[in-house]
Amino acid sequence: MKYITVGSNYGYRKRKNNEKASTNIIGYISYRQIPFINSTARLSVTSLRNNYLKGQIYRLKLYKDLIPAKLFSEINFSHVDYKYQFSGSNLLQNIAEVNLSWRINRKFSFSANYEGTFEKSQRYTRIYLNLIQRF
């Protein structure tokens, strides 16, 4: 049990001009130091409700220090299932992300990120490269 973390969050917001409150509920479980790969995995579920949609996001995240305090990696997979209240339409997406961060020194780092969003009829791809200089 010392490697497992379980948690949840709840958010509630109500505006005067909206008849229905917005809520989100998040539950997650993390497992540190997975045998053989020495990484951390987190499985989470988010439930959203507001004036215009109801939906769930299921996410699996795997992250690992490839070189401790220098090179970090992260892989995410998300499944998004939204149902829009007024139009009756649905949005189903699978999102894959791969992130690599390199801490060159205490004040300078570089990261490369890929995000692919896959829908039934469309695909979106984003690639981010970041150079960070701290002062």
Domain range summary for the chain, segments of one domain joined by +: 4-133
In the predicted structure, residue 131 carries a pLDDT above the cut 90: yes
Which residue type occupies 64?
Answer: K
Confidence band, pLDDT 50/70/90 cuts, at residue 16: confident
This prediction has a pTM of 0.82
Q: What is the mean pLDDT of residues 23-31?
A: 96
Cα 82-43-2 angle, rounded to 5 deg: 155
Confidence band, pLDDT 50/70/90 cuts, at residue 79: very high
Question: How many whole angstroms separate alpha carbon 93 and alpha carbon 102?
Answer: 30
Confidence band, pLDDT 50/70/90 cuts, at residue 63: very high
pLDDT for 103 equals 94
Q: Which two tokens stand for residue 105?
A: 């020194």
Express each pLDDT in 34-52 by its tens digit: 888 889 999 999 999 988 8
